Amino acid sequence: MEKGVFGLADFLKRLKERSSQGIKILTGIVLTLLLALMYPRGESIDLEYKVGSVWVRKDLIAPFSFPILRDESAYTQDVARETQNVYMVFEPDTQIVRQSIERVTRLVSMLDEAGRLRQYYQRSVKERKPVAVEDSARFAELSSKLDITLSDREWDKIAALINGHTPSKEDNRLKEFQQTLIHVMQEFYQVGILDKLKTTLAHPEIAIRQGIREEIVPASRLFDQNDVIKLLEEHLLRAYPGDTVAVAIGYKILAVHLHPNLRFNRSATDVALTAAVQSVPRTLGYVQENERVVSKHERITPETKLKLESLRRTLVERGPESDLAVQFGGIALHVAIVVMLYGIYLYLFRKRIWGSERRLLLIALLILMEGFFAYLTRELNVNGPIEYLILVPAASMLLTIIFDSRVGFYGTVIMAFLVAGIRGNDYSVALASLVGGALSVYTVRDVKNRTQIFRSLGFIFLGYALAIIALGMERFESTGVVVEQLAFAFANAIFSPVLTYGLLVFFERVFDVTTDLTLMELSHFNHRLLRLLAERAPGTYQHSLAMASLAEAAAAAVGANEVLARVGAYFHDIGKIEKPTYFVENQKTSRNRHDKLAPRMSSLIISSHVKDGVALAREYGLPEEVIDFIPQHHGTTLIEFFYNKAVRLAENSPDETKIDEIKDLDYRYPGPKPQTKETGILMLADAVEATARTIEDPSPQKLEVAIDEIVKKRFMEGQLDECPLTLKDLTKIKTAFLNVLVGFYHARVKYPEPKK
């Protein structure tokens, strides 16, 4: 049964390790592919050139004839200028004029009939005569067919027009009203009504095309629908001055039936735009086969740059599609090599980072962020050296603060390579990013508070400035170009600390990482747990402060994290808050509460402070790195006092079987053993500090012997087997402990007693 349990545990352990390795491999593959997708493709990366630089390779001879393509920005400007001169084409629609007149005539005819029926109905009602059903139905039918709605006053006006006769004929004046409306419509149609608003036209003039004849007309001479709405009432008032009711009726009729008679011809306009684009020359000439494109040590001029770009594009167009797949494979391999170098470093020298998928994902996100910045600077069409706005120092500082300065520096080197590759092998960006990022690492390697991040501003700018000035002098750059580059570098120096400050809080929360800044904040004595420890267990509190000095000095001696060791010492015994008087350092009287307890019960109470401490630490939100100190500083050591007491009681007992009931495991702390240098140091510091307090007249010699015995004992017990402390480290730790304890217990001058 026991064998089966251990077999299952071993299987689960192997399964977890394989899953962890799979996640790491997947992270590396995804990072590589995403970065490779950002690299420039479809162009010969071997052709590196920049105006003002010197061609250091051998003479470049044209392998075939190819056209010299114009500069893309100049070509785009010319195309934009030509397309702006293209007129929008409109065509007159004669059918609209005829149909509109017919609709108005038909509407007036229906108004005539409806008006007569309405008069008949009103007269019948007045004379109290019955109205024929068919007449009532006809009026309702006509009213529903009308495109407009008239008020009673307007119907009365229609009746007046029907009943009024012109002096020359017997016909009613409604026909005259109809002719007036048609005349107003013709006035608008003669000028022309556009089916587009003038404000939407790309050019102040338009082309009116009739068959093969085309006339360019200012749009201001024509009407659009807004003009019709504004001017229609004005035209009607000319025909019927002062007659607002007739004008209102005419407005309602014409507003519905006056349609645009100049239609926009999109296809004809598109043809004109295409012709305008094609009229712009795309090339500036040809390079013949075997002609020299650029000579070795020749300075790159704008003309030479155009030839090189044209050769690059022609190579892409002539190459088969499979070449693109081969090139992407090469890019992916290139990126994989660079990323793998960083991975090897982490695997060999930073096991703690390599063992955490969360930390590796954080590093991958930072690298990907810088690659995306580089990709944006290449894709954005900005007239300026925006490549100096790639915030590599921000990622460098984050890696340094979250991990350490070496991880930050090696990460900076890797990111400089990747950023330069994404920029098309831009050496200038690589050098500037490397120098600026390296100096930013230097400024935050021992950061003590968050505002100290902004101290790096000057050093980042200094790094970029040195690289920019050096390359500018080497390439004979003009002063204006160098100053512009420095301005962008200064913006980088401002934005990088700001981005670092913001992302640091984000990464601490999301990825649950503990930085030295977090530890420094925990080391303040106003922390709630430390205040509680000082109130309830003052002896333990003083013991923790003394241990902090020992642990910090020893950590500095062996290159461990001093801040972590000190903070771990502060919180390692917080579990004693629950039952403080059961621990000797907190007992203010000679009475010991363990005197009336069985040794086994006493050992349970003593060991319970580990479990209580872990629970309190999680309740108050302490980081896992600090919580690890609580169980590991005791490891699986024996609670010797109560174990020996139990043995003595059993030996003195008449029942000889009781000695067999005492098990070593019942009097040991639950563990685990120390897993890091810092927890191993704290285990030794705990035992050394407790022993030093029991030495009478502690001289340096006595302290040295005690320290040596304790370290040797813990080593022989195997308590340090799982932490990376070496024998050389133990020697340094003993020396550091001795120096601190000698300072604690130095001899004091005895002053003579005053005479009575």
Q: Mean pLDDT throughout 616-627? A: 89
Residue 617 CB-density burial (10 A; 0-12 exposed, 13-18 middle, 19+ buried): buried
The region, left, alpha or beta by phi > 0 then psi within -120 to 50, assigned to residue 597 is beta
Residue 280 tokens read as 């712009």
Which of 428, 329, 415, 425 lies closest to 44 in space, CA to CA?
425
Residue 342 Cα distances to 330, 337, 403, 437, angstroms:
19, 9, 14, 16
pTM listed for this prediction: 0.61
Of residues 714, 643, 650, the one with CA closest to residue 682: 714
CB 430 within 8 A of CB 412: no
List, by residue range, all CATH 1.10.3210 domains of the chain.
Answer: 518-744
CATH of 2-38+323-513, one of 1.20.1090.10, 3.30.2130.10, 1.10.1760.20, 1.10.3720.10: 1.10.1760.20
pLDDT range class, residue 45, cuts 50, 70, 90 = very low
pLDDT average, residue stretch 727-750: 82
The per-residue pLDDT for 583 is 84
Question: Tens digit of pLDDT for each residue in 344-359?
Answer: 999 999 888 898 888 9
Handedness of CA 668, 671, 677, 681 (dihedral sign): negative
pLDDT value, residue 322: 47
From the centroid of its chain, how far is CA 55? 38
Rounded-to-integer distance, Cα 555 and Cα 558, Å: 5
- Between 7 and 416, residue with greater pLDDT: 416
Distance (Å, rounded) from C-alpha 402 to C-alpha 447? 11
Predicted local distance difference test score (pLDDT) of residue 280: 86
Please give the Cα distance from 382 to 267 (Å, whole number): 34
Q: Which of 366-380, 513-527, 623-637, 694-708 has the lowest mean pLDDT?
A: 513-527
The torsion angles phi and psi of 62, rounded to 5 degrees, stand at -65, 120
Minimum mean pLDDT among 124-128, 515-519, 689-693, 712-716: which range? 124-128
Residue 442 has pLDDT above 70, yes or no: yes
Nearest alpha-carbon partner for 37 in 309, 425, 329, 318: 329
Checking if the pLDDT of 752 tops 80, the result is: no
- Would you say residue 750 has pLDDT above 60? no
Residue 753, pLDDT score? 61
pLDDT digits (tens, 9 = 90+) for 324-347: 778 788 899 999 999 999 999 999
Give the pLDDT score at 166: 47
DSSP 470: H
Report long-range pairs for 152-155 (Cβ below 8 Å, ≥24 apart). 153/245, 154/245, 154/248, 154/249, 155/115, 155/118
Give the pLDDT band (50/70/90) at residue 415.
Answer: very high
Cα–Cα separations (whole angstroms), residue 628 to 6, 615, 679, 683: 25, 12, 8, 12
Residue pLDDT, tens place only, 290-336 = 788 888 778 888 888 888 888 877 777 766 544 677 878 889 999 99
Distance CA 498, CA 460 (A): 13
CATH 1.10.1760.20 in the chain, residue ranges: 2-38+323-513
pLDDT, tens digit (0-9, with 9 covering 90-100), for 247-285: 888 888 888 888 898 999 988 888 888 888 888 888 888
Q: Please determine, looking at this structure, whether the domain spanning 518-744 carries the CATH number 2.30.42.
A: no
pLDDT band at 42 (very low <50, low <70, confident <90, very high): low
Running DSSP on this structure, what letter comes out for residue 39?
A: S
Phi, psi of 560 (to 5 degrees): -85, 180
pLDDT above 90 (res 459): yes
Tell me if the bond preceding 538 is cis, omega within 30° of 0.
Answer: no
Task: Say which range, 26-30, 395-399, 576-580, has the weakest mean pLDDT.
Answer: 576-580
Which of 421-435, 613-627, 641-655, 711-725 is the least confident region?
641-655
In the chain, the N- to C-terminal Cα span, in Å, equals 82
Task: Tell me the average pLDDT of the chain.
Answer: 84
Indicate whether 75 pLDDT > 80. yes
Q: What is the DSSP letter of 725?
A: -
> Would you call 751 exposed, middle or buried from its count of C-beta atoms within 10 A (0-12, 13-18, 19+)?
exposed
Which one-letter amino acid corresponds to residue 324? L
Rounded CA separation 46/48 (Å): 6
Q: Is the pLDDT of residue 622 over 50?
A: yes
Q: What is the pLDDT of residue 288?
A: 86
Beta bridge mates, 294: 60
The answer to whether residue 131 scores a pLDDT higher than 60 is yes
Contact call for residues 504 and 403 (beta carbons, < 8 A): no
Long-range contacts of 288-294 (CB under 8 A, 24+ apart): 288/62, 288/65, 289/62, 289/63, 289/64, 289/65, 290/61, 290/62, 291/61, 291/62, 292/59, 292/60, 292/61, 292/62, 293/60, 293/61, 293/62, 294/55, 294/59, 294/60
Q: Which of 717, 714, 726 is nearest to 687 (CA)?
A: 714
Mean per-residue pLDDT, 690-698 = 84
Q: Please check whether residue 297 is in contact with residue 57, taking contact to mean a CB–CB distance below 8 angstroms.
A: no
- What's the CA gap between 285 and 307, in Å, rounded? 10
Q: What pLDDT digit, counting tens, does each position of 550-570 carry?
A: 999 999 999 888 989 999 999
- Split at pLDDT 50, 70, 90, the class of 83 is confident
Give the span between the Cα atoms of 226 and 308, in whole angstroms.
Answer: 54
